[in-house]
Each structure stands twice: as C-alpha cells, then as structure tokens.
Amino acid sequence: MQLKELHRQFLEYLEIERGRSLKTVENYDRYLKKFFGFANISSPAAINDELVRRFRLFLNRENFKKRTQNYHLIALRNFLKYLAWRGVESMSAERILLAKAPERDLDLISVEELERLLKAPEGGDLKILRDRAIVELLFSTGLRVSELAGLDRDSVDLNKEEFSVRGKGEKVRVVFLSSRAKKALKEYLEKREDISEKLFPITPRSVERLLKYYAAKAGISKKVTPHVLRHMFATDLLINGADLRSVQALLGHSSITTTQIYTHVTDRSLREVHRAFHARRRKG
C-alpha cells in the first residue's frame, strides 16, 4: 500500500479509533507531511535508521526548537506503531529516541497579580458579570479554554458545586467550583435573559482577548492567557499540599509526566521546609 494512503488512514484512525481532537490530528498531519516531504519516499519499507538520522539533522539545522523536533519524531513514532499494528513492514518505532529537551518554563504571575486580575472585572452589567465568571471559573477549575468555551448551561450544577467536563481524547473528569466562582456564575446567570444553551456564548479567541484586556487593566505587564490561569490553578494546589496524582486528575492529563512540569515551580517551597525542620532538628 502507498504511503500517502496509509498516512490518510492513520489520521482517520487517530480521529475515530483513538478519539483525538481535530486540532491534534491536524498537528500530526503537519508533522508527518514535513517528514514525507523531506524523505521523498513512497513505501513505508523505505523508512530506516539512516533516513530518520538525516531528518533529525535537517530539523536541527532548520533551527527548530528541541521540543518541536520531538513533536515531529513523536508523530513519526506513532505512525510506525500504527503500521506495525496493521502488519505493514517498516522501521520499528522503538528505534526512534527523542532529543533531550530543556525543561519547559511556565508562564506564571504572582499571587498578588492573580488577585488583581480576579478583581479587574468591576461592575454589574452582563458583559462584566460574564467576564468575572469566566476568570473565576478558569482559576477555580483549571479548565482549558476550549473546554470552557464548550460548556453548556445545564452542564454546571451550582447546587452541587462540581461538574463533569469532556477534555482531550474525550476523557471525562470532575472539576470543582470555589465559592467565588459559584457566586460569580450565579450572578451572571441570573442576569442573562437569552435562551442560548451555551454557558458562555464566546469563542476561545475572545476569552484570550478579554484576559489580555483585564491583565492590562490590573497593571500586569506579563502575557496572561487562559493557560496561565491553568498553570496558576495547578501550582496553587501543589504549593498548598496537593499530591501530584490528584493534580493530574483535576487537570485531565493522560500522563503524570505532563503534570510533573509543575514540580520544579513548587520546589522553592521546599527551602522553607528545610529551614523549618532541618534547623530545628539540629537545635536539639
């Protein structure tokens, strides 16, 4: 079977069998097209160690970041696993090792900046109430912006103070409302007079714009995005004693490795633990 047809079937497999989002499928498509364009081959049997080595060299010399290079390699590796599952002869996926990438820096704001941001939507008109509810809900739940924009009115039960959300890979998880988020949502919903089923008739891009606006209003010079609030949600939990597995569940990460990017941020609190307990033990 021709490589082009296997490529198409692999993307359909990701979407239908694996339940990957269209955005993820698009990314896989882009990364694989880059490899196939470079390789200029028509048969999966032509994929070998030397070809992959030259492709890695090409990515590096094109000045792709190590993390982006790995995205291309992960896409290729998963394609090769799919070929093996189909019984198509090709290179073993296990032969592709990822480049060592530097630890990812998290975009964070200070606790004081976060508080100013949460208080920035001031007023009682519907748009302000909506914006306040969005900001509070993002920090209370750690929702991805796509998850927030996709929420329906009837999916959020203010009496239970918790609700289910369908995230990446169609995985369902439970998230919880803080008292502030519950109050902001209640005030917003009581003011609404339309019959739209959506909790927030708004696009992810509009959420990004409103956060940028309120960050400037709050005097925050750093870039503030919905993902920054997701980061703040996770680090706040860890700093206050939550275990990594619980944070993984609340964020909807499929792998604990993804959640571990937050641990080095909270490591600074270990210094205080060391000072409080190590020094005290020596005094005895």
CA-CA-CA-CA dihedral for 261, 141, 212, 221, to nearest 10 = -50
pLDDT of residue 255: 85
The mean per-residue pLDDT over the stretch 143-162 comes to 91
Average pLDDT value for residue range 100-108: 68
Question: pLDDT per residue over 207-264, tens digit each?
Answer: 999 999 999 999 999 999 999 999 999 988 888 888 889 999 999 988 888 888 887 6
What pLDDT was estimated at residue 265?
A: 65
DSSP state of 175: E
Do β-strands 162-166 and 172-176 pair in parallel, antiparallel, or remain unpaired?
A: antiparallel
Gap between the Cα atoms of 53 and 192, Å rounded: 58
Residues annotated catalytic, as ranges: 144, 168, 227, 230, 253, 262
How confident is the model at residue 281, as a pLDDT?
A: 46
Strand runs labelled E in the chain: 162-166, 172-176
At 267 the pLDDT is 63
CATH number of the structural domain 3-95: 1.10.150.130
pLDDT per position as a tens digit, 41-74: 989 999 999 999 999 999 999 999 888 999 999 9
Distance CA 197, CA 238 (A): 35
| Residue intervals in the chain for CATH 1.10.443.10 | 111-269
Which range scores top for mean pLDDT: 101-110, 128-137, 149-158, 237-246? Answer: 128-137
- Looking at residue 85, its pLDDT comes to 95
The pLDDT of residue 81 is 96
Does the pLDDT value for residue 284 go beyond 50? no
> Do 114 and 179 meet the contact criterion of CB atoms below 8 Å apart?
no
Contact 113, 218 (CB under 8 A): yes
User: Residues for the chain: how many in total?
Assistant: 284
pLDDT at 271 over 60: no
In which residue are the tokens 């339940």 written?
A: 19
Residue from 189, 199, 208 nearest 144 by CA:
208
For the chain, give every residue range classified as CATH 1.10.150.130: 3-95
Q: How does pLDDT run across 6-42, given as a tens digit for each residue?
A: 999 999 999 898 888 788 899 999 999 999 999 999 8
Is there a contact between 161 and 182 (Cβ–Cβ < 8 Å)? yes
The predicted structure's pLDDT at residue 266 = 64
Mean pLDDT of the chain: 89
**Per-residue pLDDT at 282:** 47
Could you tell me the CA-to-CA distances from 257 to 62, 263, 268 in Å, in that order?
28, 10, 20
Q: At the fourth CATH level, which superfamily is domain 111-269?
A: Intergrase catalytic core (1.10.443.10)
Tokens 């996926």 -> residue: 93
- Terminal CA-CA length for the chain: 75
Phi and psi, residue 41, nearest 5°: -125, 160
CA distance readout (Å), 258 to 83, 101, 139, 201: 26, 14, 19, 30
